[in-house]
Amino acid sequence: MRAKRGITDIIKKIKEEKKRSFVEAHERFLAIAKGGIATPVYLIDETLIEQNMLILQLVKSLTGCKILHALKAYASYSTFPVMSRYLDGICASGLNEARLGREEFKKEVHTFGAAYREKDIRQILKHSDSIIFNSFYQLEKYGKMAKKMGVEVGLRVNPGYAEVENQMYNPCAPYSRLGVIYDIFEGEFHKHRDIVDGIHFHALCEQNADVLERVLKSFEALYGNYIYGLKWVNFGGGHHITRDDYDLELLIGLVNTFKKKYGVQVYLEPGEASVLDAGVLVSSVLDIVENDIKIAIIDASAETHMPDVLLMPYRPYIMGSGKPNEKEHTYRIAGPSCLAGDVIGDYSFDEPLKRGDRLVFTDMALYSIVKNTTFNGINLPDITVIRNTKLQIVKRFGYKDYKCRQS
């Protein structure tokens, strides 16, 4: 009981420290935005990344699990030095991510792809410590090659259960291409057990440990008897570990129980959790037009600079704003592209917006920088890191970046 109380106190303290850092960082973001910084610009605060790292390190220290950062969510390698001090490596989705992880993160590289091209496989293996296959066909085709090159081999399975509401993001949705289903697994796995080091599953999306608990019950019911004798099981990504309300004690208990029962190493591979709340996108109001409502056109675009706003879809928070009509002055915030639907959303403000005003969109480190585009020839935002309270522009884009993506 005393040990449990001690863990509870540690978790409470580390979460309170993150909240304090978050408040201070928001003040920094607003001050920088008002200070004349060129826009649009992604601002990444290394202090906040480190706060997330401390939470992930706590989970590692209390469970002995290994945690990998998912490059699909965030790959701004200028901040890898601070992340690699805490994490065990990265997980990649293919050749380019694997190579970036090897060259810049310089720790373990675990690669999973829905299917690998024959022309890429040797280079993927060269940069990987572990490769995870999505079918028995690809396992048969490339598994022995991986072993000869000293790369561990894994197989991704479908755990048979998920609670992801948006089917676009549900790895276990009906007819999903991701992971071998149990009906196929049970008839084929025994033929390949001698070269398989581990099993991988992924069924979460921005979810808490209670969902993982229910997913694990399904996974163990299907695959539990096959785990004994393996080296590792990878619980995949989607764990929102650094969120304020995340149940760290439950996660720690689940991992420890699983490791003790099966005698395997457990891997977690969060992406968003690594940089949650650690970055913003600062934009300027270019013009204000009217068509029954007031529309503020800004120099950042939903289509090009924050595409998940349209894809998920979701409404990012703007510092100091409210919901439509919550505050006195309501505006539709829209981008400069020719796409009619390039709209971020409707927001209200205490004071009327003016041309030249700065808007700060929160939580823009994850899935924005890695997914942005130069559609319409719109320039990409600068990437600026706040490092020891000083600003460092780590990347500035221009015409060449647009041209090099064309023919």
pLDDT of residue 389: 85
CA distance 13 to 245: 14
Chain segment 143-195, per-residue pLDDT in tens: 999 999 999 999 999 999 999 999 999 999 999 999 999 999 999 999 999 99
Residue intervals in the chain for CATH 2.40.37.10: 279-364+372-403
Distance of CA 199 to the CA centre of its chain: 21
CATH number of the 279-364+372-403 domain: 2.40.37.10
pLDDT of residue 4 exceeding 90, the answer is: no
Chain segment 99-152, per-residue pLDDT in tens: 999 999 999 999 999 999 999 999 999 999 999 999 999 999 999 999 999 999
CA distance 319 to 325: 16
Q: In sequence order, which residues have a C-beta less than 8 Å from that of residue 405 and are 6 or more positions away?
A: 374
Residue intervals in the chain for CATH 3.20.20.10: 47-275
Chain segment 274-333, per-residue pLDDT in tens: 999 999 999 999 999 999 999 999 999 999 999 999 999 999 999 999 999 999 999 999
For 85-96, b/e burial (b = at least 16 CB within 10 A) is: ebbbbbbbebbe
pTM for the model stands at 0.95
Give the homologous superfamily in CATH for domain 47-275. Alanine racemase (3.20.20.10)
For residue 239 the two structure tokens come to 């764990």
Q: In sequence order, which residues have a C-beta less than 8 Å from that of residue 112 and are 6 or more positions away?
A: 91, 92, 93, 131, 132, 134, 154, 156, 200
Q: Facing residues of 342 across strands?
A: none
**What are the CA-CA distances from residue 70 to residues 112, 116, 138, 273, 318 (Å)?**
11, 18, 22, 10, 26
Q: Facing residues of 233 across strands?
A: 199, 266
CA distance 307 to 249: 34
* Helices vs. strands in the chain: H and E counts, helices first: 13, 16
**What are the CA-CA distances from residue 1 to residues 5, 74, 153, 377 (Å)?**
6, 39, 40, 61
Cβ atoms of 322 and 349 closer than 8 Å: yes
Cβ atoms of 73 and 370 closer than 8 Å: yes
Percent of all residues in the chain with a pLDDT value above 70, rounded to a whole number: 99
Average pLDDT of the chain is: 96
Q: In sequence order, which residues have a C-beta less than 8 Å from that of residue 277 and are 6 or more positions away?
A: 22, 48, 52, 242, 362, 363
pLDDT of residue 3: 56
Q: In sequence order, which residues have a C-beta less than 8 Å from that of residue 145 and are 6 or more positions away?
A: 121, 122, 125
Chain segment 86-95, per-residue pLDDT in tens: 999 999 999 9
pLDDT of residue 370: 97
For residue 396 the two structure tokens come to 């500035």
Q: In sequence order, which residues have a C-beta less than 8 Å from that of residue 310 and are 6 or more positions away?
A: 302, 303, 341
Cis amide leading into 40 (omega within 30): yes
CA distance 379 to 262: 51
For residue 85 the two structure tokens come to 């001090």
Question: Between the CA atoms of 227, 233, 235 and 236, what dihedral angle is there, to the nearest 10 degrees?
Answer: -130
